[in-house]
Structure 1
Amino acid sequence: MSSPGVTESQDAEQPARAAGPEQPHESTRRTGGGDLSTRALSLLQTGVGRNAGLVVALLLLCVVGAFTAGDRFASTDNALTILRLAATIGVVSIGMTFVITGGGIDLSVGAILALSSVWCTTLATQVIAEDTHWIVMAGVALLVGIGCGLVNGVLISYGRVVPFIATLAMLASARGLAEIISLRRTQIVTVPGFRDFFTARLLGVEVQVWLFALVAVIGWVVLNRTTFGRRTIAVGGNPEAARLAGINVRRHTVLLYVLVGVCCAIAALMLVARTTTGSSTHGTLYELDAIAAVVIGGTLLSGGRGTIVGTVFGVLIFTTLTNVFTLNNRSISEQSLLKGAIIVVAVLLQQRLANRKSSE
Structure 2
Amino acid sequence: MTDQGTRPGVPAQSPPVEPKTVSGAPAPPRGSWWKSDGAEPVRRNIGLVGVLVILVIIGIVTRPELYGDATWFRNNTFTILQQASAIGVVTVGMTFVIIGGGIDLSVGAIIAIAGVWSTTLATQSYGAAGMIFTAIVVGVVVGLVNGVLISYGKLVPFIATLAMMVAARGLAAQISGKQTQVSANATINNIATTKILGIPLLVVILGVVVAAGWVLLNRTTFGRRTVAVGGNPEATRLAGINVKFHTLLLYALSGLCCGIAAIMLTAQATSAQAAMANLYELDAIAAAIIGGTLLSGGRGTIVGALFGVLVFSTITNLFAINNLSTEAQNMVKGGIIVAAVLVQQFRYRSLTHLLGRTPN
Give the TM-score taking structure 1 as reference length: 0.85
1:112 aligned residue (98, 110, 113) = 110
- Deviation, structure 1 residue 45: 5.6
2:196 aligned residue (198, 202, 214) = 202
Structure 2 SS opposite 1:261: helix
- Correspondence 1:304-319 to 2 at 5 A: 304-319=298-313
The change in CA–CA distance for 1:72 and 1:82 in structure 2 (over 3 A counts) is: same
CA-based RMSD of the aligned residues comes to: 2.0
Contact 1:106/1:164 (CA < 8 Å) preserved in 2?
yes
Mean Cα displacement is larger for which, 194-203 or 205-214?
Answer: 194-203
Report the equivalent of 2:336.
Answer: 342
Mean Cα displacement is larger for which, 344-353 or 153-162?
Answer: 344-353
Amino acid at match of 2:81: L
What is the rounded CA distance, in whole Å, between the counterparts of 1:258 and 1:62 in structure 2? 37
What is the rounded CA distance, in whole Å, between the counterparts of 1:251 and 1:199 in structure 2? 39
Contact 1:43/1:49 (CA < 8 Å) preserved in 2?
no
Report the equivalent of 2:17.
Answer: none
Report the equivalent of 1:75.
Answer: 73
Bigger Rg, which one:
1
Report the equivalent of 1:243.
Answer: 237
Amino acid at match of 1:182: S
Unaligned runs of 5+ in 2: 1-31
What is the rounded CA distance, in whole Å, between the counterparts of 1:40 and 1:194 in structure 2? 46
- Deviation, structure 1 residue 44: 9.4
Mean Cα displacement is larger for which, 270-279 or 197-206?
Answer: 197-206
- Correspondence 1:7-156 to 2 at 5 A: 46-73=40-67, 75-129=73-127, 134-156=128-150
Amino acid at match of 1:51: N
- Deviation, structure 1 residue 39: 10
The change in CA–CA distance for 1:99 and 1:354 in structure 2 (over 3 A counts) is: farther
Report the equivalent of 1:353.
Answer: 347
- Deviation, structure 1 residue 70: 2.5
1:182 aligns with 2:176: yes
Contact 2:35/2:348 (CA < 8 Å) preserved in 1?
no
- Deviation, structure 1 residue 344: 0.8
- Deviation, structure 1 residue 197: 3.9
Report the equivalent of 1:290.
Answer: 284
- Deviation, structure 1 residue 69: 2.1
Report the equivalent of 2:8.
Answer: none
Amino acid at match of 1:113: I
Report the equivalent of 1:220.
Answer: 214
What is the rounded CA distance, in whole Å, between the counterparts of 1:254 and 1:159 in structure 2? 11
- Correspondence 1:256-295 to 2 at 5 A: 256-295=250-289
What is the rounded CA distance, in whole Å, between the counterparts of 1:87 and 1:137 in structure 2? 19
Structure 2 SS opposite 1:103: coil
What is the rounded CA distance, in whole Å, between the counterparts of 2:194 and 2:298 in structure 1? 38
What is the rounded CA distance, in whole Å, between the counterparts of 1:46 and 1:176 in structure 2? 42
> Where do 4+ consecutive residues of structure 1 move more than 6 Å?
38-41
Give the TM-score taking structure 2 as reference length: 0.85
Task: Report percent identity of matched pairs.
Answer: 55
Contact 1:118/1:182 (CA < 8 Å) preserved in 2?
yes
- Deviation, structure 1 residue 205: 1.4
Amino acid at match of 2:80: I
What is the rounded CA distance, in whole Å, between the counterparts of 1:285 and 1:128 in structure 2? 31
- Correspondence 1:162-173 to 2 at 5 A: 162-173=156-167
Mean Cα displacement is larger for which, 348-357 or 185-194?
Answer: 348-357
Q: How many residue pairs were aligned?
A: 318
What is the rounded CA distance, in whole Å, between the counterparts of 2:148 and 2:65 in structure 1? 51
The change in CA–CA distance for 1:157 and 1:183 in structure 2 (over 3 A counts) is: same
The change in CA–CA distance for 1:195 and 1:40 in structure 2 (over 3 A counts) is: same
Amino acid at match of 2:291: G
1:301 aligns with 2:299: no
Amino acid at match of 2:134: V
Amino acid at match of 1:268: A
Structure 1 SS opposite 2:212: helix
What is the rounded CA distance, in whole Å, between the counterparts of 1:121 and 1:355 in structure 2? 52
- Deviation, structure 1 residue 210: 0.3
Amino acid at match of 2:93: G
